[in-house]
Chains A and B, each alone.
Chain A
Amino acid sequence: MIPSNLRYHQEHEWVRAEGTQATVGISHFAQDALGDIVFIDLPKVGAKVTAGQQIGEVESTKTTSTIYTPVSGTIAKINADLKDHPEVVNSDPYGKGWMAVIDLTAPAEVDQLMTAAQYETFLSKQKH
């Protein structure tokens, strides 16, 4: 459930870097902890974001969770399908449940994020 080609943030977002762009979403662990996702508030295209900043919110039947961007840059694209089908994040968090594409201003930030193996260790510590 932790794809090896992605990088991970301690707030349970994933990043897939391709050149100067990165796609961002939330991890399987995050969607599972949230339960049924019913609404997602995404940033506006063109918004400038800094790594660690809040860029949106995920609402589930149980609670609200903040989406943080693990990388800095400009929002190039958002997943508009999530407006009517937020549940896709539950069923396919690493695929159709992607949230935003960011034009990176500091691509090196990606290398500072956790690898899949590191994230797995991180999760096992969280679950103690």
Chain B
Amino acid sequence: MKQTPLIDAHRKAQGKLVDFAGWEMPIQYSGVVDEYQTVRRHAGLFDVSHMGRIRVSGPGSLAFLQRVTTNDVSTLSVQQSHYSMICAQNGGIKDDIFVYHVKPYEFLVCVNASNREKIVTWLHEKVEQAQGCKVQDQSASLAQIAIQGPASRDILAAAGIADLSTLKIRHCLDATLGDDSLLVTRTGYTGELGYELYLPAERAPKVWEQLLEAGRPLSIKPAGLGARDLLRLEMAYLLYGNDMNEETTPIEAGAEWVVKFDKGDFIGRTELLAQQAQGTARRLVAFELVEKAVPRHGFKILSAQTPHTEIGEVTSGNLSPLLQKGIGMGYVPPATARPGSSILIDIRGRACPAVVVKPPFYKKPAGTP
């Protein structure tokens, strides 16, 4: 199994290590629910170095990214970022990504761990037809640490890493760390105020320690993949491999908002445009169970009308610690995709009533950052 530069820190913190997409990663340390609560109330520290980090640079980098991603990269000012997708020619999702415009003619693309090699190969292949653009896989030389939760800004300030009081959501800035530079972005996968740090791999263990130290008075804890999955599910954020794959399109997955047809041609545009015009046979929805029960990936979704025929499948599900209800996502026909629609989830032979809801499940109280 591959290991991140933080493997010793995980072992020291007695993280339960599991195989995640070929990486030896902590699924939990103190416990999934405890770590989840820590992120919602204080701050959690996540090692996300298993993800892929690809640098795209050169005068042709904007044109190249416009062609290989679905969102409109020209709208990104320097030090701004957005969520986007890389699609195949047929519109199927190859990966969901974050694109950071780090400096003029230079972008950092963050991809899923499970898709890294596939995407690096795809981008290398596509860049051959592009002018003035270079693609470099920097996944091994850079580490990535996420600090998420209401106390995260204060902890970064206390650690002396950066003053982030004016950094807006999805923006980033360069900070210095000794002789090295560090990219701090206000992004994450939890729905809380939070930041991600992109830093030289060899610096990661020291910075990890520093953040835990500086965050101790503010109740920081390391958090694992289990908590991360619960946090993202309450936000109804998609998880590649669960909620989407190459067989699904951004239109079906409810991610039209990152597909910008007006920007010009891009890979997958023709198919996606046709699909948007004709409508799709299924759509990803968020749902809540009426009675306490836990939906899981792969469970069948049934029609609420008799006969209760199978109409789809659950792609993600768990018990929401916040709502104390079973929540999930899954694909259903458009006729049952509207919020308020009744569906049934087949939980090991028991048809449990559920209602389609407007995502996210977790709505932050007004006035919180």
A interface, CB within 8 angstroms of B: 35-36, 38-39, 41, 57, 59, 61-64, 87, 90
Complex interface bits, B279-317 against A, C-beta within 8 A gives 1, otherwise 0: 000000000000011101000000000000000000000
**Interface residues of chain B: helix, strand, loop or mixed (majority):** mixed
Please, which residues of chain B bring their CB within 8 A of the CB of A63? 296
* 12 pairs, CB–CB < 8 Å, chain A vs chain B: A35-B28, A36-B33, A36-B34, A38-B33, A38-B294, A38-B319, A39-B293, A39-B319, A57-B348, A61-B319, A64-B296, A87-B33
Contact A61 B292 (CB under 8 A): no
CA distance A41 to B293 in the complex (A): 8
Contact A61 B293 (CB under 8 A): no
Chain B: interface size category:
10 to 19
Task: Pick the residue among B27, B36, B348 that contacts A62 (CB under 8 A).
Answer: B27
Cβ-closest chain A residue relative to B230? A61
Please, which residues of chain B bring their CB within 8 A of the CB of A41? 293
CB distance from A51 to the nearest CB of B (A): 21
Please, which residues of chain A bring their CB within 8 A of the CB of B318? 61
Additional pairs, 15, CB under 8 Å, beyond known A35-B28, A64-B294, A90-B31: A35-B32, A35-B226, A38-B294, A39-B293, A39-B319, A41-B293, A59-B294, A59-B319, A61-B32, A61-B36, A61-B226, A62-B27, A62-B226, A63-B296, A87-B33
B321 at the interface (CB under 8 A from A): yes
Please, which residues of chain B bring their CB within 8 A of the CB of A62? 27, 32, 226
> Restricting to B197-253, which residues have a CB under 8 Å from any CB of A?
226, 230
Please, which residues of chain A bring their CB within 8 A of the CB of B226? 35, 61-62
A35 touching B319 in the complex, CB below 8 Å, given contacts A59-B294, A61-B230, A62-B226: no
CA distance A103 to B28 in the complex (A): 39
Contact A36 B32 (CB under 8 A): yes
Please, which residues of chain A bring their CB within 8 A of the CB of B31? 35-36, 90
> Restricting to B18-63, which residues have a CB under 8 Å from any CB of A?
27-28, 31-34, 36
Cβ-closest chain A residue relative to B28? A35
* Residue from the set A61, A63, A87 with the largest chain B CB neighbour count within 10 Å: A61
CA distance A39 to B296 in the complex (A): 13
Cβ-closest chain B residue relative to A62? B226
CA distance A39 to B347 in the complex (A): 14
CA distance A90 to B32 in the complex (A): 12
CB distance from A124 to the nearest CB of B (A): 19
CB distance from A128 to the nearest CB of B (A): 17
Please, which residues of chain B bring their CB within 8 A of the CB of A36? 31-34
Cβ-closest chain B residue relative to A60? B32
Please, which residues of chain A bring their CB within 8 A of the CB of B348? 57
